[in-house]
Amino acid sequence: MIQGIADSQISVVSELHLTAACITSKGLKNLRILETTQIDLQVLNLANNDLGNDTSRSLYPIFRSLVSLDLSNTKMGRQGCFDLADNVS
């Protein structure tokens, strides 16, 4: 799905809701594809996925445009939250 969005010539995707989609931190790395596109992703919902502490590194490329990020029940942990907060500014 992410590859399809990235490959489209014109994309109006601004929200991506992937709640309880069985995504792991390994699968989340596919979001890096969006880094080289013109997609202005504003809302990303990853709630209820087993992401773990590595989540923050996979999210850095799309931080520039996010307005809302839901990481509830993702098992991100304290260190993951600290890593994420360090890269928000």
Q: What is the pLDDT of residues 45-71, one digit of tens each?
A: 999 999 988 888 888 877 778 899 999
9 compared with 64, residue with greater pLDDT: 64
**The tokens of 49 are what?**
């996925």
Q: Please tell me the distance from the alpha carbon of residue 89 to that of residue 46, in angstroms, as a whole number.
A: 21
Looking at the structure of the chain, the number of domains it has is 1
> For position 22, which CATH number holds?
3.80.10.10
Predicted TM-score (pTM) of this structure: 0.79
Q: Which residue has the tokens 């942990």?
A: 77
